[in-house]
Amino acid sequence: MRSKLIAALLVTCGLLVAAQTLVAHHAGTMFDENKTTELTGTIKEFQFTNPHAWIQVMADTKPGEAPKEWSVEWGSPNQLSRQGIRPSTFKAGTRVTMRIHPMRDGSAAGNFVAAKFEDGKVVGRWE
Amino acid sequence: MLLTAAAASAQNQAALPDWTGVWQMQGGTVFDRATQTGQGGALSKGVREHPPYNAEFEAMYQRNLKLRDSEKLPDPINTCGTPAGFPRLLNVPDTYEFVVRPEQTWILTENGPNVMRIYTDGRAHPAPDDRWPTYTGDSVGHWEGDTLVIDTVSTRMSHYPESGDTVLDRSGLILSDAAHIVTRLRRLDEQTMEAKMVIEDPKALTAPWNVTKTYRRLPKGTRVYDYACAENNRNPVAPTGETLILGPDGKPLGAAK
C-alpha cells in the first residue's frame, strides 16, 4: 500500500517537476531542448547537492562492452524536495531508463526529463 | 507607567501586517515581463525587454543581448560568490521570506541566499560621501497603511560584464550606480505579495521605469533550505564567459573546452 502511495506521489510530483524549468542556477543552452534521448543503465550516484542535483548513470553500451558514465543534471535539491523527490529516489545500483535533453556537443551529459524504473514507477513526464 | 523597550517593540509589532510564511515569485525570471518581446525566457535568443533606456544604455544592453545570444554573457551569480544584488533580488527563483519587525524588514531569498535589510526606524540614507555602491544598496522604508514603501540607492550596477557588477536578469539588463528605486511592497490577498517598483536612473533612463513582481504563498509548513552554491558547482564560468559542464572527473565536458 505504502509503495503504491509513493509511486502515485512520484508520478504526480514528476508531472509538476517536468512542468518547470529546473536549470535555474545557470544557462540551459548547452542542452538541446528539442531533442530527447534515452539511456538505460544502472544508477551509480545521486548527488543531491546545490546548486544542482546530478544523477550519475552507468549506461549500457554494446553487449560485452563496458558501460559508459553519463551525468544527468536536474533542479536544486531545495526545489526537488518540495516536489517530493528525496535522496533515496535514485538509489545506487538501481536499474533505470532515463530520458534526457542531451548536450548539443554530444558529450555524455544531459538535462533530466523523466525516468522509468523496472517496476514501472515513473519520475518526471514520460509520454 | 513607562513601557519597557521590549513591550513597546511588541506593541509596534502587533500593528504591523502579517507577511509570515514562505513565498515564491510568479512567472519566469524575465525582469520586466510587461515589455518583453520575443518568445521564451531571459536566455532565449531574440528575447528582450524595453526599459526607457537612453542611447548609451540601449547600446550597452544590445551588446549584452548579442553576448547572450552567443552564450558568452556570464551570469555573475554563477560564480557562487557575489550576491544577486538589488533589484534582481526581487527576481530570483526558489523561496522568499518577508520578515517584518518594527525597526527593520528583511527580505530573505533562498536562492543565493540573499538578505536585504530595509531600515524602518526613521533613519535616512547616509550622506553621498558616506556611501558607496554595494550589491544590495542602501534601503530605508516607511509604512503607508499596510504597504512598506522602500527607498533604495547606492546599488552596484554599471558597466557589466567588464565591471563584475550585477545584472537584473540573464538577458543582460543593467542600470547605473545612480539608480534610485522606490518599491511598494504589500500583501494583495492571503496568497499574494506584490512588489511594485518605480526605477529612476538619470544616467541610464529617459523616464521612470515601472516594474511589478508578484509572489504566491507556498503551503503552510514549507521548509527553506541551504543554498550553498559552491557545494557541488559543476557549472563554472570559463574566462570566455561560457558556462561549462563538468564531468564526473571534474574536467569540462565537450571538445571545445
Which CATH superfamily, name and number, covers B17-217?
Calycin beta-barrel core domain (2.40.128.20)
> Is A16 part of a structural domain of the chain?
yes
CA distance B152 to chain A (A): 26
**Closest chain A residue to the Cα of B27, Cα to Cα:** A20
A127, part of any domain: no
Q: Which domain holds residue A68?
A: 2-122
Residue A106, domain member (yes or no): yes
Chain A positions with Cβ closer than 8 Å to B: 21, 24-30, 47, 49-52, 54, 56, 69, 71, 73, 76-79, 81-82, 103, 105, 107-109
Residue A15 — very low, low, confident or very high, per pLDDT cuts 50/70/90?
Answer: very low
Which residue do the cell numbers 559508459 mark?
A68
Query: Is A15 part of a structural domain of the chain?
Result: yes
Q: Give the pLDDT confidence score for residue A12 in this predicted structure.
A: 43
* Shortest alpha-carbon distance between residue A76 and chain B (Å): 8
User: Which has the higher per-residue pLDDT, B114 or A3?
Assistant: B114
pLDDT band at B255 (very low <50, low <70, confident <90, very high): low
Domain of A27, CATH number, reads 2.40.50.140
Neighbour-count burial of B14, counting CB atoms closer than 10 A to its CB (0-12 exposed, 13-18 middle, 19+ buried): exposed
> What is the full DSSP assignment across chain A?
-HHHHHHHHHHHHHHHHHTS----SS--TTB-TT--EEEEEEEEEEE--SS--EEEEEE--STTSPPEEEEEE---HHHHHHTT--GGGS-TT-EEEEEEEEBTT--SEEEEEEEEETTS-EEE---
Q: What distance in Å separates the CA atoms of residue B48 and residue A111, rounded to the nearest whole number? A: 25
Nearest residue on chain A to B93, alpha-carbon basis = A24
The pLDDT tens digits for B169-194 are 999 999 998 999 999 999 999 999 99
Contacts of A73 in chain B (CB under 8 A): 234, 245
**Interface check B54 vs A, CB under 8 A:** no
**Per-residue model confidence as pLDDT tens digits over B98-125:** 999 999 999 999 999 999 999 999 999 9
- Which among B15-19, B209-213, B245-249 has the top mean pLDDT? B209-213
Higher-pLDDT residue of B236, A73: A73
Chains A & B: contacts with CB separation below 8 Å: 88
Q: For residue A7, is it within any domain?
A: yes
Residue B161's pLDDT band, with cuts at 50, 70 and 90, is low
* Cβ contacts of A30 on chain B, cutoff 8 Å: 71, 243, 245, 254
Please give the mean pLDDT across all residues of chain B: 91
- What is the complex's ipTM, to 2 decimals? 0.78
SS3 B1: coil
What is the count of structural domains for chain A? 1
- Given CB atoms, is B75 within the 8 Å cutoff of chain A? yes
Could you tell me the pLDDT band of residue B160, with boundaries at 50, 70 and 90?
Answer: low
Quick check: is A97 in a domain? yes
Asked if B256 and A105 come within 8 Å (Cβ–Cβ), the reply is yes
